[in-house]
Structure 1
Amino acid sequence: MRFIAHRVGRQHQATIDRVHAAVDAAVDIVEREIRGCVGPLEVAVSNTSDMWRMVVDAHRPMFGRQNARLWQRHEGHAFGTTTITPGGVLVVINAQTCRGRGIEIDKTLLHELTHAVQFNRPGARALIMRSLANNYGITPMTEAEAKAANRQVDAEEREAERMERHHRLLAQSIA
């Protein structure tokens, strides 16, 4: 696993420290609870605007030059995001949104690492690639394919939200 603090100032040091201290324990909890593997992983702490640039940069080797504005609609108050990369999975924690909120950092780590496991399930990576190619306007999906992909995303989001309940266990394991 590679850990990155990307363009965050000293005001976010507590968030960086918490993510760094909790990530290994969070991986253990997620892998044990949902019986999967996160696989090759990069974990980054970034500010809001750079978080989405990191996503686009991760996609660029797979899809070519892409428009970062596609992701700007998500900027709001996202605590984190997870995406595929050419070599595995990237989890980005939003230092601005999580700042001073230790419980939210723990919940976000558990949530996003759940997505990392989901992205390593058989067939998941191909579906994500297909969905991203559709979102980037490279290869359109049929309406039926898009609906099926959206149902899958919704189911995975519910699973990730359920994993957040383990935040107390995570806090205890790093105390």
Structure 2
Amino acid sequence: MKLTVSTHKLFGYRATLRTAKRLAEEAVRVVERAVPGRMPDVQVVLTSERHLADVTTAAEWETAGCTDKRVQARALRSAKRLARDTAGRAIPLADGGVLVVVNVDQHPNEATFAITLVHELVHAMQMSRKDVRERLIAGLRNDLGVEKQSRRLSREHERCLEAEEKEAYGAEYLAGRLVPAAAA
């Protein structure tokens, strides 16, 4: 398991990057012990609300194999609308790793950052489970119009996403082990 923490078009946040590296290493250890699965290679990218959509959509296009410029433009517009409310996202990468993108504008302190980091790392652990990565990539390809899914598979994908989201929200209490203020 390899962990990389970096920034994307984020200047003057050196202290935030140091804090993120420290918290990410601890969070990986805590989540690995508490959540079933195997932690894949994780790249944590800190960025602002303005650049969140750029980073996430570029990773999704690469993973899904989307080359249609009109579809890419539509996906980017949609992601920019959602970026304001997004604290973080976990995206499967083509090489088998996971990209965790964190919106630093949504995190005023270490406690909220720790909660988001634990939540997204739980999603990373889920992607290591049997058939989850393939299902997520197939859903991504369906959303981008690269390869359509049947309605049955699409509904099953949505049900699985809801269950995975519940599991991730249920594991957020683990952030209290990283930063005591997150337990409140």
What is the TM-score of this pair, normalised by structure 1?
Answer: 0.90
Percent of residue pairs identical: 25
Residue 109 in 1 paired to residue 90 in 2? no
Counterparts of 1:18-57 in structure 2 under 5 Å?
18-57=19-58
Larger deviation, residues 86-95 vs 69-78: 69-78
Structure 2 CA distance for aligned equivalents of residues 138 and 69 of structure 1: 18
SS in 2 for 1:9: coil
Residue 90 in 1 paired to residue 99 in 2? yes
Letter in 1 for 2:4: R
Q: Residues 123 and 42 from structure 1, CA distance in 2 versus in 1: closer, same or farther, beyond 3 angstroms? A: same
1:3 shift after superposition = 1.6
SS in 2 for 1:8: coil
The counterpart of 2:161, out of the listed 144, 153, 158, is: 153
Q: Deviations over 1:130-153 (max 9, x none)?
A: 100111011122221111100000
Number of aligned residues: 170
The counterpart of 1:64, out of the listed 51, 55, 66, is: 66
Residue 130 in 1 paired to residue 131 in 2? no
Structure 2 CA distance for aligned equivalents of residues 109 and 25 of structure 1: 10
2:175 aligned residue: 167
SS in 1 for 2:82: coil
What is the TM-score of this pair, normalised by structure 2?
Answer: 0.86
Letter in 2 for 1:136: L
Structure 1 CA distance for aligned equivalents of residues 61 and 165 of structure 2: 25
Alignment check: 8 A CA contact 1:16 1:95 kept? no
Letter in 1 for 2:99: L
Residue 4 in 1 paired to residue 6 in 2? yes
Q: Deviations over 1:3-59 (max 9, x none)?
A: 21111122x444323211100110111111013222111111011131221112213
SS in 2 for 1:73: helix
Give ranges in structure 1 of 5+ residues lacking alignment: none
Structure 1 CA distance for aligned equivalents of residues 52 and 128 of structure 2: 22
1:60 shift after superposition = 2.9
SS in 1 for 2:83: coil
